[in-house]
Structure 1
């Protein structure tokens, strides 16, 4: 599916929109919108896609998205098996007019504007600032706006953050290539636990194998095999922490059919063996 444009009507009537979302699971399709967005995960876990970045998300995951940056959150398959699944997030969206007409004209907000300029790649923060999010939900009118600026100021002062999309990521929201990349990502997410050949993924992209390899590396600055291993290792780290599966079973669950290969790839990427990683938690 192609990334679709999401219209947020409430933004036209107020400076920003803040809401607490409670749903069975996160399954929104790939989308984008002109508004900046802050998302704090209160309950739930799964995979987060921002630009060309795919990572696990869990409780406390806090991300700032720039204008028109394609994104979506998707709950893990295991989450769908719960009898009464509950996913919850606080989402704040504010307009580019608010940034241009107010924040950019206030010298006191320089650090906030600098942060918002970085958010075109998406920013993940280590601290959740949950009390400030709660205050925005609870306050009304002017106090609510002041609470938002207070939150943005606190975020702009932290040094513990991570940019998500690669510096080379530059997919325009209306670019037809979004559809091709979406198919590649969706197929990879749905099948990374199984064997995926380059021939199979090239067919999904409707490209020859050489063309697919060039295409994927030009857009992500990594080979598809490296990218696939990143997703598998991300899932492996989660299983090593949250399950009692044996090391060999973890490798199999993540798509590694050879245990020594799993150990080698894991140690090269994470820096320690799977067993040492588990023991550290």
Structure 2
């Protein structure tokens, strides 16, 4: 799960790329690319990592990613049948397409505003399957128009959620650094467990004080705050979508005791876990 740079090659005769992905499971490593990306999950389930957010995904999940935002999807097996596939439609388009085409058209003002928001990643609650499928299934000029129409529909949506936290700002050249890759890899693999500063500093091959300065300089936040954001992203999803009681969710998300979980949750959301579940569940 290393944050790797991905080179995107557009389709011949097209200004952007469309792909239909069908795999036994999604297992791409943590990666980023300059292109914007629209990913629609046709079939499958698992966990989605975007920036410092961790959420479950399932069929119908639609996410718009901004340029150079680290991300990956990790599947859970659908059934014991090895022939079952996870499937997704992926659409990727360049920053030059946005700068030179969309920004030049006054009619696309709302789309440009949407893409500016996408620097944090955006999840859409409504289903836009027909619009996304049309982009994939058409060709030539009609495909370009279908993309603009799909983005226009998303720009008009009021039912969406920003994913990465506002302060998340790991830059691509820093993400590619081997040390930062190891930190992210270890954190995303182990956030449900107890991660001490000694252990994560050891992964980075730094002393604890040096590690704390290093991480704060590159992310704009402390490591403990970053780790808690990942845990709370998972906790919020479980509170809404899961029937686990709050003490079980506390343990599932890596918090060591219930009072600490309540305190951290309320400090970052303004609500207790129970109040959050009652409001959004």
Q: CA deviation at 1:163?
A: 4.6
1:182 aligned counterpart, secondary structure: helix
TM-score (norm 2): 0.81
Distance 1:12 1:99, change over 3 A: farther
Equivalents in 1 of 2:154, 2:269: separation in Å? 28
TM-score (norm 1): 0.81
Q: Partner of 2:214 in structure 1? A: 215
**Structure 1 segments of 4+ aligned residues over 6 angstroms from their partners:** none
Q: Does 1:67 align with 2:64?
A: no
Note if contact 1:48-1:74 (Cα within 8 Å) is conserved in structure 2: yes
Distance 1:217 1:81, change over 3 A: farther
Note if contact 1:169-1:219 (Cα within 8 Å) is conserved in structure 2: no
* Cα-to-partner distance string for 1:74-120 (whole Å, 9 max, x where unaligned): 23xxx248424643322111234433443333332233234334434
Q: CA deviation at 1:253?
A: 2.6
Equivalents in 2 of 1:270, 1:172: separation in Å? 26
Q: Partner of 2:203 in structure 1? A: 204
**Which of 77, 80, 90 is 1:83 aligned to?**
80
Q: Partner of 2:172 in structure 1? A: 173
* Cα-to-partner distance string for 1:20-67 (whole Å, 9 max, x where unaligned): 3222322211223333211123333444333x4323142343322233
Gaps (5+ residues) in structure 2? none
Q: Does 1:48 align with 2:48?
A: yes
Equivalents in 1 of 2:166, 2:248: separation in Å? 36
Equivalents in 1 of 2:171, 2:115: separation in Å? 18
Q: Partner of 2:107 in structure 1? A: 108
2:172 aligned counterpart, secondary structure: coil
Q: Partner of 1:34 in structure 2? A: 34
Q: Partner of 1:25 in structure 2? A: 25
Distance 1:22 1:267, change over 3 A: same
* Cα-to-partner distance string for 1:141-183 (whole Å, 9 max, x where unaligned): 3322211111122223345545544555554434466432222
Gaps (5+ residues) in structure 1? none
Kindly report the root-mean-square deviation, in angstroms, between the aligned alpha carbons of the 2 structures: 3.1
Instruction: Tell me how many residue pairs correspond in the alignment.
Output: 277
Distance 1:19 1:276, change over 3 A: same
Q: CA deviation at 1:186?
A: 1.7
Kindly report which structure 2 residues correspond to 1:246-257, keeping only aligned pairs within 5 A, or say none.
Answer: 246-257=245-256
Note if contact 1:22-1:86 (Cα within 8 Å) is conserved in structure 2: yes
Equivalents in 2 of 1:171, 1:273: separation in Å? 29
